[in-house]
Amino acid sequence: MTATNAAASCAMLDDPVTADIVRVAPEAVLEGARPRLLDEWQLMPQLWNLVRRAVDASSEKGQFLLTGSATPADDVTRHTGAARVMRIQQRTLTWFEQDGLPTSTGVSLSDLFDGGVPTPDLSQPLTYSDVLGRLLRPGFPGLRDLPPQRSQRMLRSYLDDVARVDMPRLIDMRHDPIVMRQLLNSLARSVASEVSYSTLAADVRQVAPTITPDTVATYTGVLEQLFVLEPQKAWAPALRSRARLRSSVRQHLADPALAAAALGASKESLSRDPATVGLLFESAVIHDLRILSASLEAEVRHYRDSNGHEIDAVVTLPDGRWGAIEIKLGAGQIGEGRLSLAKAISQIDSTVVSQPAFRMVVTGTGQTYVCDDGTVTCPLTALRP
């Protein structure tokens, strides 16, 4: 939809008539007013090289928009399109975007990296019930205003279609869709956690007794291609001690509400399960950090060493600056978060890696202010680009 608003003409490649034209005369699909949108182009991957050649033949900029719901295999784009093609990943809406609040208020990640200090905001924070409602509200624009039961039903239907239709398009499936659905459910239970393929396989064996960790690894890779799963990689700085860094990824579904839907969660059931709420909230913060720091070309990673020190989110910039963020559901946990950050940062060798540009504790039910030790704390609703 975003590309449609920017395009002067379009070709929908999941349309049977258009697909027939591509098979007979693929160059004809490129003809039309530009920018020309080629939607679901990964279904006809031969178009990649045709577009690249068309771009080479003209000095005009912004000629084509290629959109798709899956990443094609690497060999499709072996001719990389360097200096010709810009890749942009779309994600669902952040809490900030869903609120539609002005960008002049709140806590700006860009300002924090530049040494800025946020203005305190001690207005009434969200309640625990408010946070539960937001975790269940999808960031998909077409679903966010639906009643909770209906939006959750739509999300579960989406996950069913991923298992039944989308995954078999990308891989020769050896298992029934129910196996893929069980894998999605297992990933939802492990959201924001470091979970091994062996653990996932053990869970999936309820419906596929012979499935192996290697097969599960293949299937999770396909879910990444479909933008359903987005791993959070580990950060590996130099350390002062002989502690070993953990390199496992933490898994996140594309939207926190997707994980809640996979679990069949409701506001009532979540209210009795604070552990799951904590994981879903952490995933929501990572989701929003990725989006809000994208203009800085940042990466959002995590840190954990063998001594048990952790940083939930490490936002790293290309110039080497980084920020350390601890995620806590309640305002009463801010002190604990500050202490955890201080201990973890003290393990990092500051002669090799600079001190963090900022330390921050992001909460669900807290307020915005700067602590005595310089740590910034704010609710997720206050985060801005």
Over the stretch 307-331, which tens digit does the pLDDT of each residue have? Answer: 999 999 999 999 999 999 999 999 9
- Is the distance from CB of 259 to CB of 113 less than 8 angstroms? no
pLDDT of residue 80: 60
Higher pLDDT, 200 or 79: 200
171 has a pLDDT exceeding 70: yes
Sequence-distant contacts of 334-340: CB under 8 A, at least 24 apart: 334/361, 334/363, 334/366, 334/371, 334/377, 337/361, 337/377, 338/371, 338/373, 338/375, 338/377, 340/309, 340/310
Each residue of 239-276: pLDDT tens digit?
998 899 999 999 999 999 999 999 999 999 999 999 99
* Among candidate residues 339, 337, 340, the one with its CA nearest the CA of residue 379: 337
Instruction: Give the model's pLDDT for residue 309.
Output: 96
Banded model confidence at residue 101, pLDDT cuts 50, 70, 90: low
For residue 23, pLDDT beyond 60: yes
For residue 346, the surrounding DSSP H or E stretch is helix 334-346
How confident is the model over 130-144, as pLDDT tens digits?
999 999 999 999 998
pLDDT at residue 109, as a whole number: 97
What DSSP line would sit under 178-228, residue for residue? HHHHHHHHHHHHTTTS---HHHHHHHHTTT-TT--HHHHHHHHHHHHHTTS
What's the pTM?
Answer: 0.93
Token representation of residue 11: 């070709």
Residues of the chain above pLDDT 90, percent: 81
Q: What is the dihedral of CA 122, 123, 124, 130, to 10 degrees?
A: -100
- 3-state SS assignment for residue 88: coil
pLDDT of residue 102: 61
pLDDT for position 33: 95
Is there a contact between 191 and 259 (Cβ–Cβ < 8 Å)? yes
3-state secondary structure of 280: helix
Task: With cut-offs at 50, 70 and 90, classify the pLDDT of residue 6.
Answer: very high
Please give the C-alpha separations between residue 217 and each of 40, 221, 256, in angstroms, as whole numbers.
25, 6, 22
Range with lowest mean pLDDT among 102-106, 205-209, 275-279: 102-106
β partners of residue 11: 38
Tokens of 239: 């350390």
The answer on pLDDT for 73 being more than 80 is no
Confidence band for 77, pLDDT divided at 50, 70 and 90:
low
* Contacts of residue 309, Cβ cutoff 8 Å, sequence gap at least 6: 243, 303, 340, 343, 344, 347
Q: Would you state the torsion angle of the CA atoms of residues 38, 44, 48, 53, taken in this order, to the nearest 10 degrees?
A: -90
Asked if residue 32 has pLDDT above 60, the reply is yes
Residue 121 has phi, psi (to 5 degrees) of -135, 105
